[in-house]
Amino acid sequence: MVRVALDAMGGDYAPAEIIKGAVDALLATGKDDLTITFTGDEAAIQAELQKLRADKDRNGFDESRISIVHTTEVIETGESPVNAIRTKKDSSMVVALKMVKEGKADAFVSSGSTGAILVGGQVIVGKLKGVRRTPLAPVIPTLRGGALLIDCGANVDAKPEYLLQYAHMGSIYMEYVMGIKNPAVGILNIGAEEEKGNSLVKETYPLLKAEPGINFIGSVEAKDILDGKADVIVCDAFAGNVALKTYEATGSMLLGMLKSTLTSSTKNKIGAALVYPSLKAKLKKFDASQYGGAPMLGLKGLVVKSHGSATAKEIKNAVMQCIDFSRQNIAEKIAASFAKETSAQKED
């Protein structure tokens, strides 16, 4: 049974969509699978639960699997992450992270400040022994399923040894959580050849090529990401973020434009009604919310960051993802992987 500590106050649609998503996850699972603890303003959480008791799609959810820890503070997106984690001891985020640290929960999920989650994960939950940096690794939609873009977190000036560890952690995640056997690992690059790239990529490439235990396939350019050429794409967090955010922004701009065009006149609305079912089916595979949130890997427990704009569907999937992560003992597998390693284990 997996115990998830859920930050009810983080994200654009908190607490309503967070509570909804959690209840949906409860409804989709049995009582031996999942319990949820909400951290946040108890009155606000209770008010949302009350609404869901009257919701015909959600009423009858198992209330015995829900608990609430009342907190009085909220970490805002604009705050300094280090300061916020240090000073807001009674925030929904810090209290939930401490539950993981103290073994009262197996996993933490939040749509709150990415910076605060990254700091809190490291400082409160703590790194596994042998792990040098803890990457944030969203699964992004591709034409052939999802690919793990590792790292999109805080490690912007990365070293080759970090990327080498990301290759292992990412492979473990994709194999045991996403069910992909022998996942293909690539390095984000700006050309296909081995000699391409900046100094980080040039130094890392031969190390990945020589590394046992991973299925390295070489450089992955932007178009290869979308084609689904690799299952795990390692990169420094600056490049990873640029790729991720450009992908999301371009997609959302084009879809926004499509939507506004299809509803801009009666003629267009008629045309849209005809093409909409096929279009919706095609675009479904590019819905990132199907993959839940981005796990922060290499920690002693599971920390998952969902989008700030996450709605119930993404929260539900993020919670479901925690079940696979915990059942597959991903943290233990990562720890075991680095206990065997020597080359990348040196602390700095």
Contacting a copy of itself (CB under 8 A), which of 7, 48, 231, 236? 236
Rounded Cα distance, 271 and 22, in Å: 38
Q: Does 247 bind a copy of itself (CB under 8 A)?
A: yes
Q: Is the dihedral of CA 38, 107, 245, 284 positive or negative?
A: negative
Q: Which of residues 183-212 bind a copy of itself (CB under 8 A)?
A: 188, 190, 197-199, 201
Q: Does 83 bind a copy of itself (CB under 8 A)?
A: no
On whether the CB atoms of residues 169 and 135 are closer than 8 A, the answer is yes
Is the bond into 15 cis (omega within 30 degrees of 0)? yes
Nearer to a copy of itself, 29 or 111 (CB): 111
CB of 73: closest distance to a copy of itself in angstroms? Answer: 22
**Closest-CA residue to 208 (of 173, 170, 180, 181):** 170
CB of 270: closest distance to a copy of itself in angstroms? Answer: 6
On whether the CB atoms of residues 154 and 198 are closer than 8 A, the answer is no
CB atoms within 10 A of CB 76: 14
Maximum alpha-carbon separation in the chain: 66
CB of 81: closest distance to a copy of itself in angstroms? Answer: 11
CB of 135: closest distance to a copy of itself in angstroms? Answer: 14
Nearer to a copy of itself, 61 or 166 (CB): 166
CA 168 to chain CA centroid, nearest Å: 17
Q: Using DSSP bridges, classify how beta strands 294-296 and 302-305 pair: parallel, antiparallel or unpaired.
A: antiparallel
x-or-dash pattern for a copy of itself, window 134-153, by CB under 8 A? Answer: ---------x----------
Which residues make Cβ contacts (< 8 Å) with residue 227, sequence separation at least 6?
A: 142, 143, 144
Q: Does 82 bind a copy of itself (CB under 8 A)?
A: no
Contacting a copy of itself (CB under 8 A), which of 64, 278, 342, 346? 278
Q: Which of residues 104-123 bind a copy of itself (CB under 8 A)?
A: none
Nearer to a copy of itself, 176 or 238 (CB): 238
Contacting a copy of itself (CB under 8 A), which of 56, 181, 223, 346? 223
